[in-house]
Structures are given as structure tokens and as C-alpha cells.
Structure 1
Amino acid sequence: MECPSVGFTSKFAPKNIERDGKPKISVAIVETAKKDHIVTVHIRCKKSIEYGRKSPKIIIFSQPNSTDLGYVLFLTNPDLIEICDFLKCDLVAYDYSGFGASTGKISEKALYANIEAVFKYVTNELNYQPQEVILMGFSMGTAMSIHMASIEKELGCVILIAPFTSLLRAASRIPCCGRRVDSETTCCLDQFSSYDKASLMKARTLLCHGDLDTLVVRKHSEVLYKRLQNAVEPFYSLTCHTGIFSHTRTWIRIKRFINEEMRVNDAWAEIR
């Protein structure tokens, strides 16, 4: 199956991680409530470097479970540097516990603690207000974004790319434990139940999903959309699981959503 690709530079092209002598990427280690040490990268967008200041809004990106920071920084299409420049927002990404150079072991509680620690770092150390933060997750990363949005009520907005309702609901083609994807009861053995947490979210939320996604079928986004308190019209496209992330129209829609909800262009104009 061919999945349409976004029109950024080649994913194998060398990246300029320094501009005009100023570092574009910085690394920080944050400690979680479980005492894991998480590697984070802070990417500055072109405008941030040009203006010599932090961007008015910032993205916290939570990645899928099949990647690490090295991959999403340089090898995905688009990669995080291209996303950051295209959306005109600085961006923080992180490796989950047990991924890359981050310490600890992978577990549901550990991964939730990861994003809580990263959010604290962004608000306390980078000095952003919660309403200036954009949570963005892709695939597995949507569970972390939804968790954070369910406990932090004053976020700017949330972007969920190929989200799933829960791990068992996504993993089983046969509805888990005899229940439907949209069952109101989550199996006691299930994990990452975004289905239960979605109804607690207050932030404006955009869901993006591929119609041809066979890994996490579109039904998951449809169910979550009905559970969200403040969702905009979802973006669906005739593409697959990885294709929705790489599709040009996905990022055009995300950019419009961010500008409408966060006034990113207006915020930069006011700085001038």
C-alpha cells in the first residue's frame, strides 16, 4: 500500500543543528516521580533563533513505541526539526523510560510519569504557562498526551495522530474480553485506557486518522471524538497508520488548527 508523503526535505538529508552560531537543539535530563532519568531534546524553530527568544507557544511531542529520539529527530518524514520549523513553535521531545539513554523500565505508570516530568520541566524550567503548551502525540504517544490532558485542565490544545482507545482494544481484532471498542467498561487487564481518560480532558483537541489504518482502525478516533468535551472536527484521510503522520494535508490541517486555537502567527507578529 502506498502512503502519501509530506513535502518536506529528504529524511536522509543532513540537518543543520546550529544556525548563526546558535544551537538549534539542546539536551536536558529530567527526573520523574519514579526516579527514572529521562532524556529530552529542546528544538528551537527558525523564528525562535531569528528573534533571539523562545517561541510564544511550545509543543511537547510524545512518540510512537517503535522509535527513539535519534530516529524522530532525523529519520522520520517529517522529522521533528521540520515539524518545529513548519509550525513555527519550539518543541520538546523525550525518550520513554527504558528507551534510548533514558533509565528505568517500560510500564504504564512509568510512561505517565515521563510526560508529567517533561511537562513540569517545560513549565518550570522553560517558563511556559500551561495554556501556552501544545500536546502532540502519535500512535502510542497519544496515550501520554491524553493522560497529561486529563490531569492538566489549562492546556493550550491537544493534537492526537492515530490515537487508540486502549491497548487491548487496539491489539485485538476480536473486541477485547468480548467487549466492543466503544464498550463503556474497560477490561481490568487493559492498559493505556485513553477511552476512560478522554472524557476528563478540557483542552481543544484535534484527532487525525487514516481511513486505511489497519493497525489502529479509524473507529478508535471516532469513539474518542464522542468522549471528548472540546474536540474540533476530526481530520480523516485515505492513508495508512504511518501515512497519516507523513501526509502533507495532515500537517496543513494541524498548522491551521494551531493558528486558530493558539494564534501562533499573531503571537509572533506581536513580538515584532
Structure 2
Amino acid sequence: MNGLSISEFCCLFCCPPCPSRIAAKLAFIPPEPTYEFVSDENGKCSFALTERAEWQFTEREKEFIDAFYTRTTRGNRIACLFIRCCSTARFTILFSHANAVDLGQMSSFYWDLGTQMNCNIFSYDYSGYGVSGGKPSEKNLYADIDAAWQALRTRYGISPENIILYGQSIGTVPTVDLAARYEVGAVILHSPLISGMKVAFPNTKRTWFFDAFPSIDKVPKVMSPTLIIHGTHDEVIDFSHGLTIFEKCPKAVEPLWVEGAGHNDVELYPVYLERLKQFITVELDN
């Protein structure tokens, strides 16, 4: 029975879970918004962090931030943020964040990451997160990154070869989906998951028709250089997911397995920035 227990087997085949329920259980935990978009008399948005945010941008830093809405093919208006961290940046990172955070909580990390990597950062909030409209769902997740991709390409005129797709945790799901359809400068998958069922039922060996987030079926189509990062002690998405994604990815480069790291602390290890710098500033240049 593919490694499932009797109870799990009965659960799957007597009342198989639908993808939306798997998605809701595993991934979608929108926090209370930590920012707002403030429109001036001309309708131009500015990015304002609320008191819930852990830090605040200086007035000078705000000059390098663009905030705007774009609309998805499913009709949701989603929030986008472009941070110009480097005036001579070759690459722009399209960042799809993890669950339980929004653009406000991630903004300081984006600023630091872009500055360290000499890259600009473009990110967006999923439907139902931050000030984005709609509700979180798997289908909305794919539509959200498509809208962000189109906005980045058309609004800023950035070519695909100068875009790095970065997905973290649940953010690897839309990242893999997009990367399987477009060739880009590079892809970074940080704590990726094989599929929703394989997180909920770790012993499942195959992809079921009702599975959510089936990245394992899409990653063989990713034809861009791909760096995979995973903590060896990840308590949310087992390390085996990262290993399997690495094995199935045709353009995978040397991965970063962070010994002892869990799900939410990989960035605290010095090897994290070291490996990213090596990948972006050395390997991609070659």
C-alpha cells in the first residue's frame, strides 16, 4: 500500500481529501497585515508599515520602493513590491515567500538580501495575504505568480534571462510552476516540498490525482540553473523533499544542505549567504 498505514489508506480511498483542503491545512496561514498601501490624490501607492511590523523604513529608503496593485486572471487584485537595492543590478529576484508572513514582515529581509547580492527584489502577496484581495488557494497561487511575472516584465522591462525566481517553502510551489513554463536566469528553491500529500502523509510513494502542489511532476521541466537549499533537520518539510527535488531537477547545481538547520532558521547560518553569493555572482556569470 505504498507505505501507508491501514488507517491512512482507508482515509485516502474512502474519503479522499480534495486539493483545496490539503492546501488549506498545509500552507495558507495569512497573518494580520503588517503594512498598507496609501494612495495619493493621483492614485499612486506608497508602502507604509504598520505598528505590527518589526522595523520601519527610513524616508530615504522609501524612495527606492515601488508599491502597486496588479490583477490576476482569476480577478484578484494582488499587492506587489519592487525594491531597488542596487543601481547597477544585473538580476532581479522574483521572490515568492513562505506561509504565515506578508510583504511587511519580509521587507527588511528583502532589503538586506538584495543589498548583499547586488540584486533588486520584486515580491508580491498571495491572494488573501497582506492587502491582496481574494482567498488563498492552489489555483490562485499559480495565477498570483503569473500576474507578478507579467507585471515585472511589462512594468520594468526586465528580460527573463535577468530574472531569478526564488521560492521559499510554500513559495516553491508557484516558483516551480512558473519555472517549468519559462526559462529564466536562475531558480532558487528554499525548503521545497514534493507535494502536499507527501507532507501530510510522508510514506506516500506516488502522486495521487487529488494531490495538491505536485511540484515533483513539474520540476523535471525546469530548464534553468537551479539551486536547492534545505535544512537537514527541517521539522515542517522533511529534508527528503529537498533531496528528491534535487534528484529530479535536470539543471540542478551543487545544492546547499544546511546541517542542523530547521525550517525557519536556514538564513541564520553563514553558509546561506556564502552559497547564494557564489551562485549568483560567480556561477551565473560563468
Q: TM-score range by the shorter chain?
A: 0.7 to 0.9
Unpaired stretches in structure 1, ≥5 consecutive residues = 1-10, 267-272
Give the 3 Å change call, closer, same or farther, for CA 26–17 of structure 1 in structure 2: farther
* Secondary structure of residue in 2 paired with 1:110: helix
> Following the alignment from structure 1 to structure 2, what is the Cα–Cα distance between the partners of residues 29 and 208?
30
* Secondary structure of residue in 2 paired with 1:18: helix
Q: Compare CA radii of gyration and give the structure with the larger one.
A: 2
Aligned position for 1:139 = 169
Aligned position for 1:246 = 268
**What TM-score comes out, normalization by structure 2 length?**
0.77
Is this contact kept in 2: 1:164–1:220, CA < 8 A? yes
> Following the alignment from structure 1 to structure 2, what is the Cα–Cα distance between the partners of residues 145 and 164?
12
Q: Structure 1 residue 57: deviation in Å?
A: 1.3
Q: Percent of aligned pairs with the same residue?
A: 30
Measured against aligned partners, the alpha-carbon deviations of 1:25-49 in whole angstroms (never above 9, x if no partner) come to 110111111111110110011x31x
Is this contact kept in 2: 1:157–1:261, CA < 8 A? no
> Following the alignment from structure 1 to structure 2, what is the Cα–Cα distance between the partners of residues 158 and 213?
21
Q: Structure 1 residue 16: deviation in Å?
A: 3.2
Q: Structure 1 residue 13: deviation in Å?
A: 5.4
Out of 52, 75, 79, which is 1:39 matched to? Answer: 79
Is this contact kept in 2: 1:17–1:24, CA < 8 A? no
* Secondary structure of residue in 2 paired with 1:100: coil
Is this contact kept in 2: 1:211–1:218, CA < 8 A? yes
**What TM-score comes out, normalization by structure 1 length?**
0.81
Is this contact kept in 2: 1:168–1:191, CA < 8 A? yes
Out of 197, 203, 216, which is 1:195 matched to? Answer: 216
Out of 229, 254, 261, which is 1:233 matched to? Answer: 254
> Following the alignment from structure 1 to structure 2, what is the Cα–Cα distance between the partners of residues 214 and 255?
26
Unpaired stretches in structure 2, ≥5 consecutive residues = 1-52
Is this contact kept in 1: 2:77–2:134, CA < 8 A? yes
Out of 56, 66, 83, which is 1:26 matched to? Answer: 66
Larger relative contact order (C-alpha < 8 A, sep ≥ 6)?
Answer: 1
Please show how residues 1-272 of structure 1 align to structure 2 within 5 Å.
Answer: 12=54, 14-16=56-58, 18-19=60-61, 23-45=63-85, 47-48=86-87, 55-74=89-108, 79-152=109-182, 154-173=183-202, 175=203, 179-180=204-205, 183=206, 186-238=207-259, 239-263=261-285
Say how many residue pairs are matched. Answer: 233
